[in-house]
Amino acid sequence: MPKKIDQYGPERLEVLNKIFQIINITDANNMFSLHKVDNDKAVQDALMGLESDIKKYFICSEWSCFKKKDIVKRRWLSMIKYVVKEMGYNFVSMQLKSNADGFKYVDTMYSINVKNKV
């Protein structure tokens, strides 16, 4: 029997909350850094650990992170994007210049915001 979008409401919300916990998204802080997650294998592994729950509770067979596993460079980022958008949030990226430990670099920051519902 095919999944229905509203069939797993609480479970889908739980997956979203786990993602937010892993990448430290709170009401006060709705942004995370690509640079920080790229350099934190534990966070990446925790996100990838949600793969089976995502496949179970979301209609995701066409998501590039599952359909084109070998091509997608950051599968964990792709999973975050799809789940966040599926749950009614905007996922916005922006480039910021950073200076850490004496090195200058451009970091991609991601902002997660609730969509305005009309």
Domain ranges of the chain: 9-88
pLDDT classification of 117: cutoffs 50, 70, 90: very low
pLDDT in tens, 45-94: 999 999 999 999 999 989 999 888 788 899 999 999 999 999 999 999 99
pTM of the model: 0.86
**What's residue 7's pLDDT?**
80
CA–CA separation, 27 vs 114, rounded Å? 11
pLDDT in tens, 30-56: 999 998 999 999 999 999 999 999 999
CA–CA separation, 87 vs 40, rounded Å? 25
| 3 pLDDT more than 70 | no
CA–CA separation, 25 vs 85, rounded Å? 15
Q: At what angle do helices 41-48 and 75-86 cross, to 10 degrees?
A: 50
